[in-house]
Structures are given as structure tokens and as C-alpha cells.
Chain A
Amino acid sequence: MERKINLEKANEIMKKHGNNPEKLIEVLSELNSEYGYLPKKVLKQVSKFFDLPLSRIYGTSSFYTMLVTEPLGENIIRFCENAPCHVVGAPEVLESLEKELGIKIGETTKDKKFTILTTSCIGICGVGPVMIINNDVYGNLKPEDIPRILANYK
């Protein structure tokens, strides 16, 4: 998994922000979107650059939900299962999503196309139930909408 990781981009991103520890989370967020996750090789480089132990860098990376340390599917679905979405029908929509993809929350499809994760409330519960696929937000979901929406990403 750790092959073919080009560190040039990482170095560029780190140089841009400098090595004040206040910038660590911002740097990790940018690296996460650049590589899709935070590979170990990249974290080692971050550790050198900030002059902080790798355990500290890993500790921070594994704490925040917007940072991931394992590669995920090509499309990441973040489903909101918080109470305000729950009471307006999220469970039925989630059931339809899990059935359509044949996986549960936290899993990735065999073809590595989709991963389903949960999201904390993204504050658009007024149009719940809600999910985000990559950067696209879908609201007012009904179970029958799911196949049509997923088709756009297949």
C-alpha cells in the first residue's frame, strides 16, 4: 500500500504553512485531501518537518474525523444519523443505502468504489435526512432516491 507515494506535494504543502505547531492540523487536512488519506510515509515526513515525535503526529491524525489514516473507497459517503435527521426518516434511508451497496456503515465495497461513514450533524437538519458524497450534499432524502443518486458515481 505504501508504494508510489510522491512526497514532493507534501513538502510543498508543509513549506507553504511553516512548522508552527498551530499549523499542524491545517497541514494534515490539506495532506489528507491531496493523498485521500494520510499514508505513514507522509506522516513520517510531517514528523521530521515539525520536529515532533511520530506518535504525536499519529495521535493528532487519528483523533479527528476529517483525517483518515487508512485508504478508503473512491467515493466517500457520509451519512447523518443524528437525532434531528433520525426523527424525519434517516433510518429507512440508511437501510436502503446499505442494501443497495451491500455494506454497512464503516465498510468499503469490494470494488473499492464506495465507503459509508457517518458524519456528525452538518447543520442542515432543516432538510434532513442528509448525506454527503465526496463534496456533494443531498438533503430531503427518501429511500427510493438512493439508487438514482448512487448511479451518478458508478
Chain B
Amino acid sequence: MALYRAHVIVSIDSFSILKGAIEVKDTLIDKLKKYKLDQEVKVLEMSTLGQIKDVPVILIYPEKVVYAPVKVEDIDEIVEEHLLKGRVVKRLIKELPWLPKKPKLEEARIVLSNAGLIDPELIEEYIANDGYVALGKVVKEMKPDEVLEVIENSNLLGRGGAAFPTGLKWKFTRKAKGEPKYIIANADESEPGTFKDRLILEGDPHRIIEAMVIAGFAVGSHIGYIYIRGEYALVIERIKNAINQAHNMGFLGENIFGSDFNFEIKIHKGAGAYVCGEETALIESIEGKRGEPRTRPPYPPTYGLWGKPTVVNNVETFANVPPIIRNGPDWFKRFGTERCSGTKVYTILGNINNKGLIEVPMGISLRDVINIYGDGIPGDKKFKLAQTGGTSGSIIPESMLDVPMDYASMMEAGAALGSGALLICDETNCIVDLLKPLTHFFNYESCGKCVPCRVGTTKIYKIIERISRGGGLNTDISMLEDISKTMAATSLCGLGQAAAVPVLSAIKHFRGEIETHIFDKICPLGVCKI
């Protein structure tokens, strides 16, 4: 291997590509050649470097200097000053948001420990960072029951929204009768504002492959599927490449690590339907049908793909598995709160200075996330509300900002953590106007299989629309409450049940503002066109 004096890492993720990262990288390579530095300085592509506002990002090792956002025109200066003369280009320096400015909070990186630090297209780099060590340990030294034990003891809860204990799910599937069994990674990720799974897969695809094979070993399955959202072209490409590499190295296929354990992974591309993220709809979709949720029980661990026992886990859930196997359940429990171990990956969006991706221990408050990681709200505006958990999540007012964010505490406070999207809204947002896209979303995405959701989502959207145009009726709020409660209680799947959440929480915390629209025909903030 050639030795290089410096490594220059360019962020090549979906955001950076949008802002010209490919051109930046190409120009950089050209310039290095021109100055004959190409034998001394190596350019590497990385996935996200943890932020999406000021991109592309360039990271220079060994100094660990970060430049962002970098334009093609800046390359001359970076090459001449920094790489040739060794002088840092001060005007382009950027502090990465995941290096917190105030040392009060630790950022614990379990899931994202490799993202942005290794080249996702090279299996060697994953291996050099403890990759496939856990798999080797599992197939050579452990029995399936011991693997189940470790996962169960770690307290790992599913990160796809429902927070179901992963160890238990795997145990049920192992015990269930029926062959073959299947392992499915749910990478459908369509909750508005959620893109953590995409960045995990773009940045560290081998981690998910390793985890799926471990799951297969633990439950007695030889076939896995990754169900990837159709729009995620870069993810599909990287996973394909990673599967090929893992095959060549003997981590997938027959006789893994020389044992008699075999495992294959197939890719299934989605075709655009939010409800397909629901695990039974996803299974129907793999079977080539309309992605409509099944009536449950039976649940996938006993009756899944083609009627066989099936594990469905979220990408982030899987991402926790290799480090738990390597370091043990007690190590994992050191992170987070007593009831919810580990970390959570969030996407922070909306009216916030530092939009992007963070991974923090379970239990950090939303206030800290906004002030420390999100760097506050732009333009000295005041916080009004946040929606946690994506469009199906609850609306949270100022008074709830200090609730520790873990699944249990949020539930007790009457809110949900969901998928990990945090939408921050400042004081200029009108609650009725915000409810419009939220209720429209459910109306659009309802699959129509069951009546409460099919009819309810349409009615709710129409009522909100009407209120926003000044046509609200005196009975509208109680109507919204009735419909929402019926939907929450009687819908067949989580989509219809969750559709009630933003409406009910908005009424609970901002009833007065909605009433002003209805009774006085005024939008107090002047947002709605009444």
C-alpha cells in the first residue's frame, strides 16, 4: 500500500452531490495532479460528515481540519495554501455540529461510529474498524441461543418506531415452526423528515449486512431481504456493491467463516408507498402485491413472508447489533437511560440553524438538542412547537421541552419518539397551516383497506382545509376529536392510528389558536388566507 502524507476526504452523499461535490472532487484531483501532489495526497470519498447545510465538506487528515461549504473556486486556495504550503485556509474552516461546542453533552457514536470516517465502497475499511469481527465471533464461538441472550440482555428496542424489544422478536421467530425463516431489513424509510436510515446505509452499508447475517444465525434463517425505498438510488448501488464484496470475502454465501452456516441477501426495491414501511404491508409488497397491511395477529415472527416466520427490523436497530456483540450487553447499557439503553439517531429540521443528523444517548432533552446540536433558532425568533417522530408524531409545546427523550419517558408524557425526526417550528408558524400538510399526508397515503382510516383521513383533511379558509364550523373541533379517537381505536394499522396523533396533540396544546380561526375568522399570525 502506498503511503500518503495527507488524506483529503470529500463528502459524497445525496446532499453534497446536489451542491456540486462531484465537481469539487474532480477539480481537487486535477489540481493535485497539476501540482504533482497526487502521489503524496490521497483523495477519498466519504458519505455524510454529519451535516447537510454547509456542504460539500472537506476533511483533511492528519490535521483534522474541516472546510465547509467548499466550492470549485475554493479548491485552488486549499491546494496551494494548505496542501502545498501547509497553511490553513481560515476563511473556510467549519466546526462540525457533531463535535458539540459546549462540552456538557457527550455525543455517543455507536450507530454512526464509521459514517463519514470510512470509505463505504471499500470492505477493507470496514474490516479495519472492527467490521465482521462480531460475525466471526458469532459463527465460530457462540450458539444461537447465546446470541439471543446477548441481544435480549442488552435491552435493545426496535428503532423503527414501535420500540419492541429486539431480543424477544428474534426469540419468537426462532421458536416459531416453519421453514425457511426470513430476515428483513426495513429500509423503506418514508416518514417525512426522516433520513437517518439512508445515511446509515450510504455511509456504512457493511454494518447492516453483518447484522442481518448475525440475525440469521441467531434465529435459524438463511435468507435475508433488504427492502429499500425506490427513490434511494445511491443506497441501492452501495448495498449491491457491499453484498458482492462480502461474498468475495466469504462473509455471505456458503460456509461463512469456514463454518457450515449459509446466508444470502436479496435486495427488494420499493415503488413509492408510505404504508409499505409497515411490516406486513412490506411483506405483501415483496410478494409482488399491493402493499396493504395484513390483519394481525398473527405477527411476522410466526406468519411473515410467504407465511413463514420472519424477523423485520429497522436499519438503525440492525446497526446496533455488531457493536453489542463485540462489546457485550453491559457496555451497551452504559449509554442512555435505565429503561432505554443506547443512543438514538435524529434528523433535526425546520426552523433551526444546524439542520442535520445527530446521534445522542437516549434521554437527552429536546431543549438541549435544539440549543446545543441545532445551534438554536435562526433570526432570534422564539420556539413555538416541535413535532417529534415525523408526521405521525406528537406536537410538543415549549412546556414539554425538558422531557428526557427516551421511548418510555416520552410515552408517559403523552408523546412519541417515533422514527427520530425532529421538526422545529418557530413562532411565525400557524398551527392550522401546519396541520394542512400533516393531514393531507395521511389522506394521500391511506391505503384504503379499512373504513375508519380511509374515510377519517379524508374528513379530517377537509375540515382543516375549511378552517384555514375561514369556513370553520362551531362543531369542527369536537368533530375532529371524535374522528381522531375513532381512527386511533379502530384502524387496522399504525398509519390510521397515528393519523390521529398530530391532530389531537395540536388541539390539546393550541386549542385557542384553532378556535380563533373558527369563531373570529382570523389567523392571528396572518399565515392562513382567510
Contact = CB atoms under 8 A, between A and B. Distances in A.
Interface residues of A, number: 37
Contacts of B391: 82-83
Interface stretch (B113-121, B150-158, B287-295, B307-315): B287-295
B423 A83 contact: yes
Interface string A113-142: 000001011111111100000000101000
A60 interface: yes
Most buried by B among A21, A22, A23: A22
Given A87-B350, A88-B351, A126-B52, A59 B193 contact: no
B15 A87 contact: no
Interface stretch (B100-108, B207-215, B243-251, B433-441): B433-441
B288 A25 contact: yes
A75 interface: no
Contacts of B231: 66, 122-123
Contacts, number: 128
B505 interface: no
B287 A120 contact: no
Given A21-B288, A22-B287, A121 B192 contact: yes
B271 A67 contact: yes
Nearest to B349: A84
B434 A82 contact: no
Contact of A25 (B191, B193, B232, B269): B269
Interface in B237-287: 268-274, 285-287
B190 interface: yes
A141 B56 CA distance: 18
Interface in B13-31: 14-15, 18-19
Interface string B186-215: 000111111100100000000000000000
A23 B440 contact: no
Given A63-B291, A81-B440, A125 B192 contact: yes
Interface string A19-30: 001111110110
Contact of B437 (A26, A63, A82, A127): A82
A121 B268 CA distance: 20
A18 to B, nearest CB: 12
Nearest to A122: B231
Given A29-B269, A87-B350, A82 B192 contact: yes
A88 B350 contact: yes
A121 B190 contact: yes
A127 B18 contact: yes
A127 B355 CA distance: 9
B434 A126 contact: no
B434 A87 contact: yes
A118 B230 contact: no
A125 B349 contact: yes
Q: Which A-B residue pairs are the 3 nearest by beta carbons?
A: A123-B195, A24-B288, A65-B272
19 contacts: A21-B287, A22-B287, A22-B288, A25-B268, A26-B268, A29-B271, A60-B289, A63-B447, A64-B273, A66-B230, A66-B231, A87-B423, A120-B272, A123-B194, A124-B14, A124-B52, A126-B53, A126-B349, A127-B19
